[in-house]
Structure 1
Amino acid sequence: MTDKDDGVFDMGAAENADLVRRGYEAFNAGNLAALGELFAEDAVWYAAGSGPLSGKKQGRVAVLAYFGELGARSQGSFQATVQDIVGGENHTVGIQQSHAENNGKTLDVATAIAFVLRDGKVVEGREFFEDTARADEFWA
């Protein structure tokens, strides 16, 4: 971490990647309490596509409710298998394989999430799916 003149601490690329990795671990364990600790209160999440779960989620409570809905709609089967985490000073990218099952349907798509971190918290997440239409159909 570095201390800028304004007293705000910036985390480096390695620390940002570690925070995102801890987030994936909490998500896949279904530990929304631990996951919530990693998000800023005013965090924003952009869920890809045009399906029923798509769109902007404003605030930590809304983001966690969205994650809970992913679990509920997949009977707890949704997993984000990390392929790689690329840490940067301003953005950290999680590259994952998203897998879920629901009512005989299977979702298995490559996904990337661009995270913006500030003061040791996730302040923004943007999802990018290899096949957004397939993901929309699965969650419908």
Structure 2
Amino acid sequence: MAEHPHAALVRKGYDAFSRGDMETLRGIMTSDCAQHVPGSSQISGDFKGVDNILAYYQQLFELTGGTMRAELRDVFVDGRGHAMSVHHLHAERGGKSYDAEGGIVFRIVGDKATDLDECIDDIGRSDAFWG
């Protein structure tokens, strides 16, 4: 059985993120896409517009010296424009290592993501790592 197109889109995005391929990421999001990042650290907040989302990803790579990784574990879809990823995060920063479980709820229209709601297993630990 073929994979649902929304799951394939999410997998394509994770693959592009892992390679730092911003052009592919740009191509799978609407221009007015928004990403919501929980917590109260320097990386938390609402990033509106594909350019701001890509700048956020660049900031993650810069803050971690390129060690930021999101290993996709699974993708679930509802067939109605929603997909949910489950991933393991790893990053190193300032002599500290960070490992966490998390995911993203994607809203998809046609073949593009319009909204990404990030979730994390321990917001306090995330805030402490990111400062």
Specify the TM-score bucket, using the shorter chain as the normaliser. Answer: over 0.9
The code of the aligned residue for 2:35 comes to W
Q: Which residue of 1 aligns with 2:95?
A: 104
For this pair of structures, how many residues does the alignment match?
128
Q: Equivalent residue of 1:53, what SS?
A: coil
**C-alpha distance in structure 2 between counterparts of 1:23 and 1:97, whole Å:** 15
Q: Equivalent residue of 1:138, what SS?
A: helix
Quote how far apart the aligned CAs of 1:90 are.
2.2
Q: CA RMSD in A?
A: 1.0
**C-alpha distance in structure 2 between counterparts of 1:121 and 1:136, whole Å:** 30
Q: Which residue of 1 aligns with 2:68?
A: 78
Q: Which residue of 1 aligns with 2:38?
A: 48
Partner of residue 16 from structure 2, selected from 13, 26, 33: 26
Identify unmatched segments of 5+ residues in structure 1: 1-12
Partner of residue 38 from structure 1, selected from 28, 48, 59: 28
Q: Equivalent residue of 2:42, what SS?
A: coil
**C-alpha distance in structure 1 between counterparts of 2:8 and 2:77, whole Å:** 8
Q: Which residue of 2 aligns with 1:8?
A: none
Partner of residue 65 from structure 1, selected from 52, 55, 58: 55
Q: Equivalent residue of 1:77, what SS?
A: coil
TM-score, normalization by structure 2? 0.94
2:113 is aligned with 1:116? no
Q: Hey, which bits of structure 1, 4+ residues long, moved more than 3 A?
A: none
Query: Larger C-alpha radius of gyration, 1 or 2?
Result: 1
Q: Which residue of 1 aligns with 2:83?
A: 92
